[in-house]
């Protein structure tokens, strides 16, 4: 193959005049990387049609400018080895873009330094198993330029000569200035303030390379400010937010209805609301959860608020009523912090506290984080017999066996709080392709496999609820069930839109990010559907009201006693009963008729909502509760 390339007239001309060959090599490098970046932007749906929109043109120009700046640096630092440096840079940038693409398809976010810090070898192995299923055939575009780059390296590497330092410096400075000035032409047109809430927004407007630069700058600034004192402005902001929150939580409905009772929470892996109450080929997808709705309070407008920590973020939201970090997992980055939490509040009331999850105790750093948030007993994989492996590539203990074995690990003679984290219904769901549940034309598809996995998880939940009744715990406990995070990544959004018969739009996608929340209080006789809009951060204050204790450090609201209807996503998107604000695009849509609204009419209110994210970040990054103790 290389011999054929070498024998072409074009290559012979390059051999005779390596200067022209080098110019071609640099140009080819620039446009190869640019095409890969544009492919990343569109294959991940960060950017979308129309292709020649103002935002897309801004992103392309910015990316081109940054590549020019990279070239300027290479040209300045490397002299005779500049061709080899270009080739290696191409490989490194390609690896970064491939990692970004596949990570984004699952997590809907760009890889950042805190994400790397959060991923130990065990998590990387598990994440890789999930993300590898997201690779597309069209991803070959990332490596299609390699033969030309390699041939150019072989032909030019020893033919290009050294360039005098002065001449090399002038060329590099000119190239760098062209890149900077080109970048500045689009930089001033982007809404910079939105970048702090969403890597996606910075990537959408100024490209993935700028997003990496910006998130790294934020990370360095955050690390430098961790030991700084709380400013007067931050103190005032925090005091005002918590004062407002505690005034809202005045109690009334259902206050103390479960006081002194056990608390049982089940965090259900990847159970989203769109499957609840839905049938396929005449059969219920979740018959047991549907039945349970007729015995409990069902909150049908609850949104997940997780970020890069996924399941661990959901645990954090539920047990602390603080938001996760925008970058990386709190469980890794801030596990040594002091927290006010649900298990700590119940321990003070004499409860035994248990967390149960049939996977390795070090996964997501749970063995350390659970100590910080107050679980006295962490029952993990080493405490279970791995007698039935179901889901997650057939490597995890089934939810059925998990529940069956767990009952004997809790001392039910004393008041207890048990926090169950299920696992079987885990992305990518391919384990369930042959599971006996008819999904019709969805057989073999990602969505079809998910529906089968959810049906299996529902069967396990049915067993769990029946077992609670048999053991006389059902009417002696406050039972809480909720989904932890998304099941369908945006790369598979088209299947979901078609299944639900919905239009593919950003506001509709936001409204699909709901998880079920079901709360059954002791001796409940009358079910109720509560449609207040909220999120996982609201679970703790709702529980504290029902169990009759104060929790003044919650950023969430009591869903049973509030007239505030909103949910804040970690990326800055806000859903209310009046509008849906998409932070990535800065668009606002009417909640009901989905028409576009004027952002200026809601900007002040949206800003007040987003202060909750700011307050949560200050509390976590500056370990505020430790300072107050």
Write out pLDDT tens, residues 377-420: 999 999 999 999 998 767 789 999 999 999 999 999 999 999 99
Q: Please provide residue 228's backbone torsions phi and psi, each rounded to the nearest 5 degrees.
A: -75, 155
Q: CA-CA distance, 611 to 243, in Å (whole number)?
A: 14
Query: Global pTM?
Result: 0.81
Write out pLDDT tens, residues 475-484: 999 999 999 9
Pick the closest to residue 463 from 403, 396, 374 (CA basis): 403
Tokens representing 32?
A: 């190869």
Burial pattern 35-51, b for ≥16 Cβ within 10 A else e, equals ebbbbbbebbbbbeeee
Specify the DSSP class assigned to residue 500: H
Pick the closest to residue 43 from 138, 118, 145 (CA basis): 138
Asked whether the CA dihedral 243, 219, 45, 56 is positive or negative, the reply is positive
Tokens representing 48?
A: 């979308």
Share of the chain above pLDDT 70, in %: 90
Q: How confident is the model at residue 1 (pLDDT cuts 50, 70, 90)?
A: very low
Contact 172, 73 (CB under 8 A): yes
- For residue 361, give every residue at least 6 positions away whose Cβ sits within 8 Å of its Cβ, in sequence order, or none: 367, 378, 380, 381, 382
Q: CA-CA distance, 264 to 46, in Å (whole number)?
A: 39
Contact 334, 544 (CB under 8 A): no
CA distances from 562 to 13, 252, 365, 482 (A): 76, 10, 35, 20
Full strand arrangement of the beta sheet holding 517-520? 377-379, 352-356, 416-421, 262-268, 477-483, 517-520, 297-299, 528-530
3-state secondary structure 426-441: CCCCHHHHHCCCCCHH
Residue 393 vs residue 190, higher pLDDT: 190
Q: CA-CA distance, 333 to 118, in Å (whole number)?
A: 7
- For residue 531, give every residue at least 6 positions away whose Cβ sits within 8 Å of its Cβ, in sequence order, or none: 299, 300, 301
pLDDT at 199 over 80: no
Stretch among 48-57, 121-130, 214-223 having the lowest mean pLDDT:
121-130
Q: CA-CA distance, 180 to 167, in Å (whole number)?
A: 20
pLDDT at 366 over 90: yes
Write out pLDDT tens, residues 299-325: 999 999 999 889 999 999 999 999 999
Write out pLDDT tens, residues 238-256: 888 888 888 777 778 999 9
Q: CA-CA distance, 549 to 558, in Å (whole number)?
A: 12
Write out pLDDT tens, residues 12-65: 555 556 667 888 999 999 999 999 999 999 988 888 878 888 889 999 999 999
Distance of CA 351 to the CA centre of its chain: 32
pLDDT at 209 over 70: yes
């Amino acid at each position: 193959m290389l011999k054929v390339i070498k024998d072409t007239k074009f290559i012979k001309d390059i051999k005779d005049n390596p200067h022209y060959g080098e110019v071609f090599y640099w140009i080819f490098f620039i446009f190869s990387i640019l095409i890969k970046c544009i492919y990343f932007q569109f294959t991940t749906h960060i950017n979308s049609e129309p292709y020649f929109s103002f935002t897309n043109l801004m992103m392309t120009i910015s990316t081109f400018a940054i590549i020019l700046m990279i070239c300027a640096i290479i040209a300045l630092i490397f002299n005779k080895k500049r061709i080899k440096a270009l080739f290696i840079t191409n490989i490194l940038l390609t690896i970064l873009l491939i990692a970004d693409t596949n990570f984004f398809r699952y997590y809907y976010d760009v890889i950042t330094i805190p994400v790397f810090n959060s991923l130990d070898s065990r998590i990387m192995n598990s994440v890789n198993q999930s993300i590898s299923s997201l690779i597309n055939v069209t991803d070959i575009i990332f490596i299609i330029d390699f033969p030309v780059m390699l041939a150019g390296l072989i032909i030019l590497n020893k033919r290009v000569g050294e360039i005098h330092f002065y001449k090399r410096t002038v060329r590099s400075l000119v190239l760098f200035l062209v890149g900077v000035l080109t970048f500045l032409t689009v930089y001033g047109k982007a809404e910079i303030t939105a970048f702090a809430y969403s890597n996606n927004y910075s990537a959408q407007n100024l490209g993935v390379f700028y997003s990496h630069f910006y998130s790294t700058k934020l990370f360095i600034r955050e690390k430098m400010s961790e030991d700084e004192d709380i400013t007067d402005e931050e103190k005032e902001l925090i005091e005002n937010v918590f004062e407002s929150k505690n005034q809202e939580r005045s109690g009334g409905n259902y206050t103390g209805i479960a006081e002194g009772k056990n608390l049982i929470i089940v965090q259900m892996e990847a159970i989203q609301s769109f499957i609840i109450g839905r049938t396929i080929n005449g059969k219920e997808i979740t018959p047991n959860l549907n039945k349970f709705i007729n015995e409990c309070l069902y909150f049908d407008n609850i949104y997940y608020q997780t970020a890069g920590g996924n399941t661990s973020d959901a645990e954090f939201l539920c047990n602390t009523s603080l938001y996760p970090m925008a970058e990386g997992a709190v469980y890794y980055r801030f596990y040594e912090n002091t927290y006010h939490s649900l298990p700590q509040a119940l321990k003070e009331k004499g409860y035994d506290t248990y967390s149960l999850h049939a996977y390795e105790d070090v996964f997501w750093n749970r063995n350390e984080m659970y100590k910080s948030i107050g679980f006295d007993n962490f029952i993990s994989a080493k405490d279970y017999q791995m007698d039935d492996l179901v889901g997650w590539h057939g490597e995890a203990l089934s939810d059925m066996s998990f529940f069956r074995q767990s009952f004997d690990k809790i001392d039910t003679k004393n008041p207890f709080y048990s926090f169950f984290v299920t696992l079987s219904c885990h992305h990518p769901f391919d384990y369930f392709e042959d599971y006996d549940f008819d999904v019709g034309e969805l057989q073999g598809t990602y969505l079809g496999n998910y529906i089968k996995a959810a049906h299996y998880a529902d069967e396990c939940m049915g067993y769990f609820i029946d077992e609670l009744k048999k053991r006389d715990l059902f009417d002696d406990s406050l039972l809480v069930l909720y989904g932890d995070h998304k099941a369908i990544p945006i790369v598979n959004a088209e299947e979901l839109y078609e299944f639900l018969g919905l239009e593919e739009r950003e506001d509709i996608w936001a409204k699909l990010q709901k998880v079920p929340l079901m709360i059954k209080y002791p001796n409940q006789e009358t079910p109720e559907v509560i449609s207040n809009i909220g999120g996982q951060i609201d679970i703790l204050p709702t529980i504290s009201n029902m169990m009759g204790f104060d929790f003044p450090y919650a950023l969430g609201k009591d869903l049973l006693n509030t007239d505030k209807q909103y949910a804040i996503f970690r990326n800055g998107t806000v859903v209310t009963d009046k509008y849906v604000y998409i932070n990535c695009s800065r668009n606002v849509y009417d909640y009901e008729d989905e028409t576009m609204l004027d952002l200026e009419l809601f900007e002040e209110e949206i800003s007040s909502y987003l202060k909750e994210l700011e307050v949560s970040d200050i509390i976590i990054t500056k370990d505020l509760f430790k300072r107050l103790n």
